[in-house]
Amino acid sequence: MTTQDNSVAGSALGRHVDYPQGYDPGLLYPIARTLGRHAIGLRDAALPFIGHDRWHAYELSWLDAKGKPQVATATFEVPAEAPNLIESKSLKLYLNSFNASRFDGAEAVLAHIAEDLSRVAGAPVRVAFGLPPMVDAGDAEDAISIDALDVAIDHYGPPRTAFIAIDADGVVEETLASALLKSNCPVTGQPDWAHVRIAYRGPRLDRVGLLRYLVSFRDHAEFHEQCVERIFSDLLVHARPERLSVEARYTRRGGLDINPWRATPNCVTAVARREARQ
């Protein structure tokens, strides 16, 4: 395997790449999380959050020992403390490299994926077949949507923290949600769409300001994981909550969707769910 610099420039994004002809873990490409974290004042030695990046894989296939194709779905969970995020196109290419390769059983496939992703991420990655349940059409997960607010918006980037405002009188505990989060891939410029959930306890967030803030990512170029860490950090600084959880459920691209979750250490782990758009 060639030496990698963990920068965006060395990835497969925006470049023609031949379809893999066999199992190849060398296709996986790590990007150092420090590249995005330093831009918003975060240091790995003192991260203000816990969390993970949960990937859903819809197009996983391999050949059994007799050459018969097998198909499955899978979920991968990369811890937020892992030094590297896994670039999405490289993950897609890597999973496609299983298509023409033979394995002695499904568990061998899981073992290879877990070992390879953990090596590239720099921390243990949880891997399992199957996907989390969909959000039921009648289940709002106790979240209040802010998308119907009657508000004029004319700023679409860069993200503007000045929109974040609070009512300092009293403490509330609530979960707000929006399906209007959109950002762009920093390399290809392609749009990334997400449903974001913000659960907090603290001074009441101004919902109009919060919606304006989320929409201000619309022309912003940053990876999914970095956008969620920016939202978390901005809310932690400017809203001063006692407890905060931010999860973005991004829509599928190339048979994969990603769901970064970041939270203060006093939060319980976010319940794994999939949105209708995923």
Same domain, 100 and 171: no
In whole angstroms, give the CA distance from residue 133 to residue 148: 26
Ligand-binding site membership of 86 (annotated): yes
Opening angle at CA 80, ends 225 and 61, nearest 5: 75
Q: Determine the pLDDT at residue 66.
A: 97
Active centre residues (catalytic): 185, 192
Ligand-binding site membership of 178 (annotated): no
Ligand-binding site membership of 26 (annotated): no
Q: Determine the pLDDT at residue 21.
A: 87
Residue numbers of the domain that contains 69? 26-129
Same domain, 166 and 256: yes
Write the DSSP symbol of residue 38: G
When pLDDT is averaged across residues 186-198 and rounded to a whole number, the result is 95
Residues 6+ apart with CB under 8 A from 229: 36, 37, 40, 42, 49, 260, 262
Same domain, 61 and 148: no
Tokens of 189: 């410029």
pLDDT at 274 over 70: yes
pLDDT at 35 over 50: yes
Same domain, 125 and 149: no
Same domain, 100 and 196: no
Q: Determine the pLDDT at residue 7.
A: 55
Same domain, 161 and 259: yes
| pLDDT band for position 205 (cuts 50, 70, 90) | very high
Tokens of 22: 């066999």
Q: Which of 66, 100, 129 is the last residue of a domain?
A: 129
**134 in a structural domain:** no
In whole angstroms, give the CA distance from residue 14 to residue 12: 6
**256: nearest Cα among 123, 112, 118, 86:** 86
| pLDDT band for position 74 (cuts 50, 70, 90) | very high
Ligand-binding site membership of 50 (annotated): no
Whether the Cβ atoms of residue 166 and residue 201 lie closer than 8 Å to each other: no
Whether the Cβ atoms of residue 76 and residue 124 lie closer than 8 Å to each other: no
What type of residue sits at position 139? D
Q: Hey, which bits of 185-242 come out as E strands?
A: 191-205
Same domain, 110 and 182: no
| pLDDT band for position 90 (cuts 50, 70, 90) | very high
**274 in a structural domain:** no
pLDDT in tens, 118-154: 999 999 999 999 999 999 755 657 899 999 999 999 9
**19: nearest Cα among 113, 111, 89, 120:** 89
Q: Determine the pLDDT at residue 169.
A: 87
Q: Determine the pLDDT at residue 1.
A: 36
Q: Determine the pLDDT at residue 8.
A: 56
Average pLDDT, the chain: 93
CATH of the domain at 200: 3.30.1130.10
Ligand-binding site membership of 89 (annotated): yes
**174 in a structural domain:** yes
pLDDT at 13 over 60: no
In whole angstroms, give the CA distance from residue 218 to residue 149: 18
**258: nearest Cα among 214, 224, 220:** 224
When pLDDT is averaged across residues 16-25 and rounded to a whole number, the result is 82
pLDDT at 216 over 70: yes
Same domain, 164 and 256: yes
Q: Determine the pLDDT at residue 16.
A: 57
State the SS3 of 126-195.
EEEECCCCECCCCCCCCCEECCCCCCCCCCCCCCCHHHCCEEEEEEEEEEEEEEEEEEECCCCCCEEEEE
Number of separate domains in the chain:
2
Q: Determine the pLDDT at residue 10.
A: 54
Same domain, 151 and 254: yes
Tokens of 39: 């831009």
Ligand-binding site membership of 253 (annotated): yes
Q: Determine the pLDDT at residue 187.
A: 87
